[in-house]
Structure 1
Amino acid sequence: MRLLSPWFWKDISFFPSSRLIKSIFTTIPTKMSLKKMFFTSKVDNFEEVEGSAMSVLDLPDLVLECILEKLPPAALCSMAGVCSSLRSRCISNHFWENHMKKKWGRIIGPAAYREWQWHIALRTRKDSGHLKQGKAKDLRILSIVRSYWWIRSKVDDGSKQCSLPDDSIMSWFLALETGRFWFPAQVYNRENGHVGFLLSCYDAELSYDPRTDTFQARYPPYGRRAVTIENNVPWERLRASPFDISPHDLHFSNCLNELRPGDNIEIQWRRNIECPYGWWYGVVSHLESCDRNENYCRCHDSDTVALEFNQYTPGSRWRRTTVHRKEHREEGNEADGFYGGIRKLCSDEEISTWKRLWPSGILE
């Protein structure tokens, strides 16, 4: 910080990002007289002369990197469009990993990453002929201030253009941000909170809509039912899948022996064998033979585990079910549906999310 004049750091602290970017891209005047100093940048010995101007590229590497780390995605994209030197820095995975984690980390899981790898592999194969001919590409990106813009980056000789690497994190971020990439995730209370799906979470393919800051969800078909599409799904109804498995696969439960009354759980359930599983919220209950006295309760020693779904009225066929602690795989029938794998909820955040989605009235 001693390398730069005080008013410059004042600008960084108080100016809007747009003014700051504009100022550092023109010149940085300074009246400070500097002695010989050793930098890690391109210049070994730098001596400031009063009244001279310094380009942003003459800043020490550490200082420039600190500036770039502070920029939001749209500003970082703007920086990448200035020159090839800044472009090579701004598209670095180092900067975009933080942006990816901050905005998309909660709803992007292993399945979404694998889908992206397949996507770029197919695109690379499709475009391989064009790449051999050295054709230039344009990259459309989203801006926070405008709907989207173009980046055209030139190489040093100013006669060629280079495209953004498909396998870069920046490319993935922009594909998500513009809604061009559909990715797998899960949606709570699907189909706008349809009464038949309250307190459940189902797999879907999602596409982001930057105009509304919401998502379009595409639920897979099953049986005679066609693809169902839901619009305007908010962020708070989304999550990454807790397991990297198909929605038709049974989850192997490894928590059955530790379940006790009062534990919060999710259980796979499907209406029939053609349907995909959804995850449904419930709690571990006491067995009917138990007097619910904590000092004498031995429900945790029984081979049978009672599960309760308190969103349904007492006496409803959906209110309670039991599973075998040691031999449970999938249990049920065509009338009541099929109960699959169980996962114990240990995170307060997950439990509070389910309780926040609790229906306003008891379900029949």
Structure 2
Amino acid sequence: MLFLVISILPFLFLLSKSLLPQQPLPAWASEARLLSVLFLQELFSLRSFRGFTSWALGVPSSEMACKRKCAARAASAAENAAECEDMSVLDLPELALECILEKLPPPALCSMAGVCRELKDRCRSDYLWRRHMGDKWGAVVGGAARREWDSYLASRKDSSAAAATMESCGSGGISRRWIESLACVWPLSWRRSRLGGGDKQRCPLPRDSVMSWYLSLESGRFWFPAQVYNREHGHVGFMLSCYDAELSYDSHTDSFQARYPPHGRRTVVIEEGVQWERIRAPPLDTPAHDLHASDCLYDLRPGDHIEIQWRRNKEFPYGWWYGIVGHLEPCDGSEHFCRCHKSETVVLEFNQYTPGSRWRRTIINRKDHREEGNEADGFYGGIRKLYSNNEIATWKRLWPVEVLE
């Protein structure tokens, strides 16, 4: 005990010096002063030092120990009574608890995660949040959005690593490393509370978790790539088309803000109030400025529903436009005598335009089809055949009220 008292004298000396008005202390003295205060706090919490103080004050150690035991028993009895009165949700069988968590909506899961550490780990599991991702975001978030999210996470990690490197190389980096190294060998409770931070700092939400992705989409912080039908509030020049955009969700209005890339002389166009039914996940990985390699040309028959790339000129990105496969001129459309599917020429019809309009029909070649067109009529690109009834029904639902000129 005498050795313990003697060992703290230097710290007491530094502490007393710091209270007197004088010239600023060097950096190492400030660190030592901080450690002296923390050491004294820890020292007074040690059982042996409490015994020494009780002996010095004339209080028998046996009496102190008896009082402590009585207090511990009273606290234990109170805890047992509380446990008997209220049953914790963690006392439920594993299957029952799992079923309860699966029924909770995302806001309730977030609230439940703040109850305790065990529930936090359970409520943050990817298993629970994948279902919520599919239910709410499955129709508008696809592979392109996932790749964008992974790229976003990688950039955040790189920026965090760079910031940590600059901090360690700065003026406070050396002193912090010195304290942390001392904390590794000094068994003080402040090592976990002051340097490590609380539970919230030590256990943040993992950035690569499904829950983190869901909340980033929900909050609108993450702009994700998708496609928008009838862009710019159904402008007549974009009826029955679908264009690439970056979208951000607004939970207050349950709608999206769409940011279309610039093309030609136009700057970035932003459209607000985009509803869910006008958004889809890109069905293909083809970028907006690249020609899609058509793989369905020899499967096209009259009556088939298709999407075809079209752009106004070479500077514009492609949009996907809805149409159907028509009959050749000599064919009368008879089911038994039609041979249009055997011809090298394919007629595409866009019946939202009036008969005689230059946008009503176009002809492509099955064998040598690439990008076709001119500056006056635009350029037609790759073709995608529609097999899904849901996709076809979506296009029909967006059909304009009046025939376009």
TM-score normalised per structure 1: 0.78
Q: Counterpart in 2 of 1:302?
A: 343
Counterpart pick for 2:130 among 97, 100, 112: 97
Distance 1:86 1:290 in 2: 69
Secondary structure of the equivalent of 2:270?
strand
Q: Are residue 86 (structure 1) and residue 119 (structure 2) matched? A: yes
Counterpart pick for 1:112 among 101, 122, 145: 145
Q: Counterpart in 2 of 1:339?
A: 380
Q: Counterpart in 1 of 2:97?
A: 64
Distance 1:52 1:219 in 2: 59
Matches within 5 A, 1:84-163: 84-128=117-161, 159-161=198-200, 162-163=203-204
Question: Computing the radius of gyration over CA atoms, which structure comes out larger, 1 or 2?
Answer: 2
Matches within 5 A, 1:263-278: 263-278=304-319
Distance 2:355 2:114 in 1: 63
Q: Counterpart in 2 of 1:235?
A: 276
Q: Which amino acid aligns with 1:96?
A: W
Counterpart pick for 1:170 among 185, 189, 211: 211
Q: Give CA deviations for 1:3-38 in whole Å, capped at 9, x if unaligned.
A: xxxxxxxxxxxxxxxxxxxxxxxxxxxxxxxxxxxx
Deviation for aligned residue 1:294: 1.3
Distance 2:404 2:139 in 1: 30
In structure 2, do the counterparts of structure 1 residues 128 and 60 end up closer, same or farther at CA, with 3 Å as the change threshold? farther
In structure 2, do the counterparts of structure 1 residues 123 and 158 end up closer, same or farther at CA, with 3 Å as the change threshold? closer
Residues paired across the two proteins, number: 294
Secondary structure of the equivalent of 1:163?
coil
Distance 1:62 1:158 in 2: 34
Q: Are residue 262 (structure 1) and residue 303 (structure 2) matched? A: yes
Deviation for aligned residue 1:160: 3.1
Q: Counterpart in 1 of 2:189?
A: none
Q: Are residue 196 (structure 1) and residue 229 (structure 2) matched? A: no
Q: Mind listing any 5+ residue stretches in structure 2 that lack a counterpart?
A: 1-82, 168-192
Q: Give CA deviations for 1:315-343 in whole Å, capped at 9, x if unaligned.
A: 00000000001111111011100000101
Which structure carries more helix by proportion?
2
Over the residues paired in the alignment, what is the CA RMSD in angstroms?
1.9
Q: Which amino acid aligns with 2:342?
A: D
In structure 2, do the counterparts of structure 1 residues 131 and 92 end up closer, same or farther at CA, with 3 Å as the change threshold? farther
Counterpart pick for 2:258 among 202, 208, 217: 217
Q: Counterpart in 1 of 2:18?
A: none
Matches within 5 A, 1:4-23: none
Q: Mind listing any 5+ residue stretches in structure 1 that lack a counterpart?
A: 1-49, 134-153
Secondary structure of the equivalent of 1:329?
coil
Q: Which amino acid aligns with 1:160?
A: D
Q: Which amino acid aligns with 1:224?
A: R
Q: Give CA deviations for 1:65-118 in whole Å, capped at 9, x if unaligned.
A: 111000000000000111111101111000000000000001111110000001
Counterpart pick for 1:73 among 101, 106, 111: 106
Which structure carries more strand by proportion?
1
Q: Which amino acid aligns with 2:360?
A: R
Q: Which amino acid aligns with 2:221?
A: R
Q: Counterpart in 2 of 1:361?
A: 402
In structure 2, do the counterparts of structure 1 residues 210 and 131 end up closer, same or farther at CA, with 3 Å as the change threshold? farther
Distance 1:301 1:218 in 2: 43
Distance 1:240 1:294 in 2: 36
Q: Counterpart in 2 of 1:25?
A: none
Distance 2:258 2:336 in 1: 48
Q: Are residue 321 (structure 1) and residue 362 (structure 2) matched? A: yes
User: What is the aligned-residue identity percentage?
Assistant: 68
Distance 1:273 1:345 in 2: 26
Deviation for aligned residue 1:51: 6.2
Distance 2:108 2:162 in 1: 33
Counterpart pick for 2:324 among 266, 283, 297: 283
Deviation for aligned residue 1:54: 2.1
Distance 1:199 1:176 in 2: 27
Deviation for aligned residue 1:236: 0.3
Q: Counterpart in 2 of 1:148?
A: none
Q: Counterpart in 1 of 2:228?
A: 187
Deviation for aligned residue 1:179: 0.3
